[in-house]
Structure 1
Amino acid sequence: MSAPEIHVQVSPDLALFVPHARRGPATPLAVDGVSTLGHVVESLGVPLTEVGALLVDGHEVPVSHIPAHGESVEVRPVPRPQQVPGAPLRFLLDVHLGTLARRLRLLGVDTAYESTDIGDPALAARSAAERRVMLSRDRGLLRRRELWAGAYIYSTRPEDQLDDVLGRFAPELRPWTRCTACNGVLRQATKEEVADQLEHGTRATYDVFAQCGACGRAYWKGAHHDQLEAIVEGALRTRADRRISGV
């Protein structure tokens, strides 16, 4: 007697997670009558953080559904913008996403970042304890059950990573309000308050400063400000365009 079999069709948006042999039209897949549909989807390589809806014979089912012989399954991607219920939208990034972390903080998005490799269990535990969305390119990390929530970062280019996160989660943007070094909140500061961090030329040239309330780092519109301003303006422009188009 042949093993029970289902037919699974994975959305093209999720194709990069699936071996080439299983891409395209619905393909047959043996099931054991015990494993959940969520487990079956993960066995194909698709993190559940990237799955929006699971349809069985046209009807949405939970990840706990036990697939039966002959069922047709459709795996859809997460809808955008994605809603994360139950907590203010905050992020946690792993060691490989430092540039993305700094850019999110530049835009005023609450972004924790681990600059050293503390291991998947510790990252997952922090995500749960602080109710932060874990952003990573590590599929194994995103499969950990302890995560509060998670999302796969599809690109290796920081500009594309930022655009993807902003498009997926639509966080509130408050540029120039967070420390790019530690994520603390910035406040206005006088030149005298930050004088010990300023070189003579900076003291003579600039009069407007901000300081991080957490780590004390001073900020001013220095040599790299134009580059940072371009990132901010680009993000705000893209956000406005998305709102106009309803995306």
Structure 2
Amino acid sequence: MAKADFRFYAELNDFLPPKRRQVTITHLFEERAPIKDTIESLGVPHPEVDLILVNAKSVDFSYILADSDRIQVYPVSSADENAAIISLVRPQPLNVIRFVLDIHLGKLATSLRMLGFDTLYRNDYDDEELAKISSAEERILLTRDKGLLMRSLVTYGYYVRETNPERQIVEVMRRFNLFERVSPLQRCLRCNGLLKPVAKETIIDQLPHNTALQINEFHRCTECSQIYWKGSHYERMQQFIEAVLSSG
């Protein structure tokens, strides 16, 4: 029986059982298989992998595992320390950062929209649909389900570690270096549509009486027609946005 030694670095260890973290893992195998399949069989989703070295040489996901191979697997956070090595698994950078989120991340979806990011979310997306959307539209799939990230269609994806929504948004902002891309309060929190200014007189019959008397500036979603104005909720959103930006 052949064997290969694996070592996973940094946050890739989050996917491993405690006894396998930060240590060399000896993998026994009989049939030769692509290294991508073996990495995922050990628990690490391929979109989380940024660099694979086999016997100190960079390889891609199609590399066929061989007896006595020594494999080092690195995440995105290790890119700086491996800057001199060309990664053969890193996908092309996205020109536009867009997201699609699974059912567990509804509050994170609202936060991303509040900060201006194109974010698809529905509570009835199934896993196959999420993977197809991520692939077809080149959207980063954010999920709390590592099995979903292992679907072959998924190229751009990330497993959200935090469970608290306020920490999740900071985690995602840091992971994708989004702090300079923020464009707050440009999207509908309900449906993700873009907001456009709307004349008060054209919507006055849809406004609460006191709002119609006190507020003059309004925006409406181009998709679902939800109306927005700077009420008491606006100050709370501004405070939230400032707190997120200060964490960058």
Q: TM-score, normalised by structure 2?
A: 0.88
Which stretch of the first structure deviates more once superposed, 36-45 or 121-130? 121-130
- Map of 1:39 onto structure 2: 37
Paired letter, 1:147: V
2: CA distance between counterparts of 1:210 and 1:87?
28
Residue matched to 2:223: 214
Cα distance in 1, alignment partners of residues 215 and 52 from structure 2:
56
* Residue 122 (structure 1) aligned to one of 129, 151, 165: 129
The answer for unaligned runs of 5 or more in structure 2 is 80-89
Counterpart in the other structure of 1:200: 209
The amino acid of 1:13's aligned partner reads E
Pick one of 133, 152, 167 that aligns with 2:174. 167
How far 1:44 moved relative to its partner?
A: 0.8
Rounded Cα–Cα distance in structure 2 between residues aligned with 1:167 and 1:198: 38
> What does the per-residue CA deviation read over 1:162-195, in whole Å, with 9 as the maximum and x for residues that have no partner?
1121112224211111111111111112222332
Following the alignment from structure 1 to structure 2, what is the Cα–Cα distance between the partners of residues 195 and 128? 42
Q: What is the rounded CA distance, in whole Å, between the counterparts of 2:32 and 2:6 in structure 1?
A: 17
> Is it true that 1:157 corresponds to 2:164 in the alignment?
yes
The match for 2:48 is: 50
Preserved CA contact (<8 Å) 1:18 1:46 = yes
**Counterpart contact for 2:32–2:66, Cα < 8 Å:** no
Segments of structure 1 that go 5 or more residues without pairing to the other structure are 240-247
Equivalent residue, structure 2, for 1:72: 70
Whether the 8 Å contact between 2:47 and 2:155 is mirrored in structure 1 is: no
Cα distance 1:18–1:92, how it changes in 2: closer, same or farther (>3 A)?
same
CA distance in 2, matches of 1:14, 1:148: 17
AA aligned to 2:111 is: R
Q: Using the alignment, how far apart are the partners of 2:78 and 2:115 within structure 1?
A: 20
Aligned to 1:59: 57
| Separation in 1, partners of 2:4, 2:187 | 50
What TM-score, normalized by structure 1, do the two folds share?
A: 0.88
State whether residues 31 and 67 of structure 1, in contact with CA within 8 Å, keep that contact through their aligned partners in structure 2. Answer: no
What is the CA RMSD across the aligned residues, in angstroms? 2.0
